[in-house]
Structure 1
């Protein structure tokens, strides 16, 4: 946080003439204006500008936190909405997508609760866009459909409505579902044309060109790309033009004309560098590098170009394009015979294999990995990946090099001395050269197989019927004998049961009376224990509040007064005074933080989810230690009663405090979940743990158990030396 403050001070007080970029001058002006106004509008203006230039995410978080402080002071839900929304954008700018989604979902819940439907539409549009970037297409479509439904009855949101429709169609394209993408893109193109939205129409035409490229309809592909370029030139929209030139270059490359594709790809890169958009620059570098990789004598240049893409894509966290870059680098080094370097990038690709969402992306991954494993004489692994490629081809992936894959399989099997399999796949490879004869031969085999299987089935049915009749006869004879024996036993048992029934009834009455008395005693004991526990907890909270007040109003103010008095002493008289003043200031801040943690939380202004998120976010942690917080999405946290929320908050405080003080862990995680009226809290750390059979409960653990008892919660604690600690609390609301 100190680094963030220093950055803010530099931005605020650095002279205008020392900045090279006009953007930074505008940012400083807005920061000065916000410092004067000290209101939500001023801070939001700085946030909007930082979002526009896509720089300084840490500064954006600082100004978002300033909005949060105003929201707490004024108890303004609208200010909380601004805080959640801008915090989400800052996390997206940093590349922390899970954090960004958490903040955006909180903003959406608050917007819906306060009936701010215009803000809800904008938030749904943002979430859908970022889920597309994160390759989570089902989630993207869920939020986009939600935003589209709200915006349908809001004419003033027509631009966002078209944007969401386009992103909805894009999710199908990115996922490889070209038919669905085509249907939805054609619909939104007509809507854009009717509303005369040229920018969106350009986007739709470009997307149609990409769809028809994947469908191998080259005439329609080029036609739509040309229409989009024509509109781009008329509008001066060079950003979209860069994407279109990149798409045209890809088409030429697929036509086996990579040399003709280079000018288009270079023009796309030129526009991207001119605009300075990191996402676009990274994509253009990847496209140009992929084209150069397919040209003999250009592979060194291809490697240099692809390496330029890596830091840009890592900065914007575009893992889908990173996979493409590593894939092309692996192929380029392999074709140059540098297998060690190829393996380096293959391992990087392996680390991102979970981001490969479509069959096309997985096929490209296998296509890069299998030949490299074969070149390194890792034949068994290569065989596995060649078979995966063949399976994808069998399920609809089209590739003209399927003959080579079977031929390579034959070579691999021969290398491991499995000559039978080698011969089999070699036959398959040569058979693919004459698919007509192969189909005819397969038809003959299929007819013979069907006839043979039919006869076998008929014989099997006859055998089964005969066995079934024999089994039924045996079972009938067996049932008669068993039934006779059982009847005799039943008659004997009935006499004995009748004699013992009266005695048993008398015993049951006595046991029932005794059980009722015991139950009453247990209930009275539980009620007494609960009342005493509640009284203890209330006393504990009262004492916490008193101590917090004393620390904040007395000790902190006394330390502040002492610090101010000491500062009046001349630095020349006491040269080492500065270090002591810093120590005194840090002590005062720690006392103030402790007083805030002791003060009971105010649940009338925020939900349990919001309070825990804020607590974890502002948690003071040792160096090299961090904390994470996660909660269930789409839940109305206002349904949690205040008493239960209060005790749960205190339980998390106690558990996290124990982990920070004693666990010696690198990470503490807090998870809040609500499902079917079951509220659960999970606090885990990866610290040193303890032996539960030896260690007795300390004051902190006893307090956790007592708080849980007052709300009827169940507590599960597991730990072992070297395996961290896991605390889970479950309560029905």
Structure 2
């Protein structure tokens, strides 16, 4: 997979700095000597953009100080810049709701300042943010607004950046021809002001589009253009990335000689700039190249050198990839003990990265939900205002009388319906108590006797297989009957009882080589009907059973949470997973889907080979948080 640098090359305020430590020291010296004027605001804004990679909290503090001083001085351009930089820091921290708030503030302040170039930049930044959280329609809308202000500023560079961002959006939407159209238009505008590093990034993005389309010769031409431009401008960071990507294209073409050449060029530049991430990336690329050339002995020292560099958590992804490659290389040379060692390291790191990615996805979903909720609230407020205005116009007495009569009829109907419902619920409770008592005393006692007799017979060496089957069947029948008793007993209507039931089921599992756990969100409760409670129990038990049977070990985690008023249950295992496209009926997936559909719930199965399995059940309008 080619490591392109789309997001890093989009926004002017996200400039790439090659000697950040020196720049930070210089800015701090300027800050200590600065007076409370607009220059100090500029220094604080630049510190917020530079320190973010090393200390996000301190970078945010610098940005907020710049906002306060800029407000005091009436320096709105500086205030808008600080808002933008803080918003980008929150994007890096995956706090997308906060990022949107600061981007919105940057747009408002920029409009207040009346600077079209600054307004266009603010809209581009927010479009980039919406692109990252997959809100493509909003991203396109921001690009249209940005283009309007960029044209008003008559700045070809700013217009070119808008078209570039639009190309990025279309690329993420896999509309490749549209992406090419907008990328090429952006290059026309960049050409009017002299090609820059951003133009080189566009050329690299065009190459990426061609790679995605399988047009590798066209990709080579565009990648070569990006390299020539970056080299003429001595943009070493860009060149490191471009050389490596150029080598990846040659790998697609199985041209090992040229792939090795460009990987080594990328590695040399990464070493010269002391960029550990790029050093690790390109050593891994070289190692995989040698593996593809069936020369694992040559690959091992290259991979080992990169692995030893990535000894900090900041480089977890690079370390995981190198560990995986080392495991394959050692296995190819017959050194299986070392292969197993690095495979275990890779697996542990992959689990950690998967957890981080899952958390990020959850944050994205939550942000999307929050945005939709805010929009619904705005619509509701607007609707309420309209209703209020209509009520004021209704002045005729006959309308009031008719409204009162309708309300009276509704109240009577509701009281009647409520009375019948309460009577029905009392009858149902009585019936459930009676059935639970009968099942427990009669059927449960009989089945327990059957199992006891079967166990005694097995102890006296009568036909062992038959008696063992009797014992197992009786035990399973008792368990099912116990589930039925539990389902219809009103004492267990609460979520806590359901969780205890599942904990007992997981504890009673025998021979399961898995670590299991259950987690319930603080203050969570659920108001479920008997049918919902029943299907929820059976679906989760089926999911746990499948994980024990098919996952091949690992860990199993059950999580109860709420999204609004919906109860969400996630059953996650870190086992071997399976291919959803190739799996036919089985694993109980059809029965689980049918049970979920029967109670109006949603069921989602996420799995792929080697990545474990996650089953997400979402029951609407039953969750409560105290």
TM-score by length of 1: 0.40
Relative contact order higher in (CA < 8 Å, ≥ 6 apart) = 2
Q: Which has the larger radius of gyration?
A: 1
